[in-house]
Amino acid sequence: MHSSNSFVREAVRWAGAGAIIATIAIGISFAAYAAEPVKDFSLWMKELKQEAENKGIRPEIISAALDNVKPIPRVIELDRKQPEFTLTFQDYQKRVVPRARVEKAKARLKENKVLLEAAAAKYGVQPRFIVAFWGIETDFGRVTGGFKVVDALVTLAYDGRRSAYFRKELFNALKILNEGHIAPDDMMGSWAGAMGQCQFMPSSFLNFAQDSNGDGQKNIWSDKSDVFASAANYLASSGWKGDQTWGRPVELPKDFDLGLAGLKTQKRLSEWQELGVRRLGGRDLPTRDLMASLVLGDGEKGPPFLVYNNYRTILKWNRSTYFAVAVGTLADRMVGR
């Protein structure tokens, strides 16, 4: 699990995709990090284009995607930034799951009922959870990132700090273009290459994106049927159980052994009940004897949650306690839970 510090470092990565986290101190020039590149950029690009051709990318795609690309200083700044401060669990929840977003989520759930139910029927992921991911990642498709994905990935692949990872993602992006799902100028995303309304990295796109409407394109940028199906397919493929929820906030008895907290410990709900764990308001836990772990939002300060299999699946999307609880909370609140 993530501490507040490590979470905010991760969460800020998603800030370009709509989850606004914190004010960031930049003040660092691109030149400071690119003063000693491994190779001259023009030579590096020439070799990259040759490798792309060797991998079967069509010459016209290589030209359209790469001919006029230059490293983007802002991308390097964002890759290097450090938060000035950390957010508490409560602060994060207030920012990411405010009442306005809950109301918007309720409206989107209703407006897209037909598409969401189709995705739910095929992949076994409840509509409210699809909408929760959509809302937290990109504010329901409103904020999907302002960078050309190829340009951003070229910058990060050339930079050297995590070049091997971003080089693989760059070739994945070129493969997506080669397959005709999107035009180079329309392939927009975050500074780190996360794309579309569900913020898939190119590798996730290739593994999970779906052509829900059968038009021959997997369009996670502007086709909501593809967006919903792709998100649901990701979750289903990662172990989502459509007959379960994510977890729930709970109350702990005095002198509870906090050593039992953490995902390494799993007990049946009946066992947690025997240990004195209760729903909010002191009510008994559900009688369905699911396996659950106890998670604390802010370390030993709580608040406590009993979480099930689907919580673990949310962590495969974004390995952050703050994020996973926010998804579950938004999903619950839009249906009055």
Query: Which residues are known catalytic residues?
Result: 137
- List the structure tokens of 259: 């050593």
* Distance set, CA 163 to CA 28, 156, 192, 280, 284 (Å): 20, 6, 12, 47, 52
**What span, in angstroms and rounded, lies between the C-alpha atoms of 167 and 333?**
40
AA identity, residue 290: L
Enumerate residues 6+ apart whose C-beta is below 8 A from 44: 37, 38, 158
How far apart, in Å, are the Cα atoms of 126 and each of 34, 173, 233, 267?
Answer: 46, 30, 12, 25
Q: State how far the Cα of 227 lies from the Cα of 218, in Å rounded to an integer.
A: 8
Whether the CB-CB separation of 86 and 4 falls below 8 Å is answered with yes
The token pair at 152 is 């951003």
On whether the CB atoms of residues 20 and 95 are closer than 8 A, the answer is yes
Q: Which residues of 227-249 are buried (b: 16+ CB within 10 A; e: fewer)?
A: bbbbbbbbbbeeebeeeebbbbb
Single-letter amino acid code for the residue at 289: D
Strand order in the sheet with 247-251: 262-268, 291-296, 304-307, 247-251, 278-279
